[in-house]
Amino acid sequence: MDLISYLAAFIMNQTNKYFLSENNVPFQDFFQFGMSVDCVVFGYVAEEIKVLLVQRDAEPFIHSWALPGDLVPMDEDLGDSAANVLKKLTGLQNIFMEQFHAFGAVERHPAGRVATVAYYSLVKSDNYHPVASSWVKETQWFSIKDLPELAFDHKRILDKAISTLKRRVKYRPVGFELLPLKFTLLELQALYEALLDLKFDKPNFRKKILSMDLLLQLDEVQENVSHRPAKLFQFDETRYRELRKEGFAFDIKVKAN
């Protein structure tokens, strides 16, 4: 660095020390708290929604169960950091995660002021096998209806993620990727009942889902079943994209039992 550049940088640094924000607080006072990311990974298996938790092997909250999360390094974007944290703690990677909320209560972290940005994902958990690493002692899929006590404010984060998931699956066909490529209407109904924690009337659900014109009925039926084999269907993603261009809105709202 030449002398002129050095002097310019020095003057800028000195100026920043005394720069005041709009409420006359020194600008540098706002750079004294941390940022973290927390990952809510939902899994679907055996007609049940589960969430991936990690058991902490470090303070604070050592031995407690928590969502996979950590502080954001200074040189990482939030999205990259969420993916890297999930991989570092559980070994899971190449999972699409969507940012859904920020949590910034003053006392949410015992070490100091830390705001967190939360991400969620919905996966077929049979396809993913997390392995504990870094400061994580153990990983485990828990039913969202039978959870241990969680560290920090992670229960609040998880509750918000569950409500976000329920709201979004009503208006986006995100659940189909959790099913086999070929599925029955009963399997589809069981999926949405698990996602929304509701019980649907079978005829009403069939009528609603078929009226959307998003399913391809195949010339195939179930095999190796003890009951009358049901017809098989596929999700028509091409048709869905065409309908979206025409203003179609996916809406799974059905009268529940």
**Residue 80's domain spans which residues?**
32-169
Q: Are residues 85 and 185 in the same domain?
A: no
Q: Are residues 159 and 67 in the same domain?
A: yes
Q: Are residues 37 and 162 in the same domain?
A: yes
The whole-number pLDDT of residue 1 equals: 55
The whole-number pLDDT of residue 21 equals: 54
Bridge-partner residues for 14, per DSSP?
Answer: none
Buried b (16+ CB within 10 A) or exposed e, 194-219: bbbeeebeeeebbebbeebebbeeee
In a domain, 153, yes or no: yes
In a domain, 8, yes or no: no
| Spatial distance between the Cα atoms of 104 and 102, rounded to a whole number of angstroms | 7
Q: Are residues 189 and 158 in the same domain?
A: no
SS3 103: strand
The whole-number pLDDT of residue 6 equals: 57
Q: What is the pTM of this model?
A: 0.86
Mean pLDDT, 10 residues at a time, the chain of 257 residues: 58 54 64 91 95 97 97 95 97 96 95 95 94 97 97 98 93 88 95 94 93 94 85 93 84 71
Q: Are residues 127 and 211 in the same domain?
A: no
What's the domain count of the chain? 2
Asked which of 169, 191, 206 is the last residue of a domain, the reply is 169
Q: What is the CATH number of the domain that holds 97?
A: 3.90.79.10
Q: What is the CATH number of the domain that holds 233?
A: 1.10.10.10
Q: Are residues 116 and 241 in the same domain?
A: no
The whole-number pLDDT of residue 147 equals: 97
The whole-number pLDDT of residue 81 equals: 97
Q: Are residues 163 and 38 in the same domain?
A: yes
* DSSP code per residue over 4-62: HHHHHHHHHHHHHHH-B-TTS-BGGGGS-SEEEEEEEEEEEETTEEEEEEEEE-SSSST
Buried b (16+ CB within 10 A) or exposed e, 11-45: eeeeeeeeeeeeeeeeeeeeeeeebbbbbbbbbbb
In a domain, 180, yes or no: yes
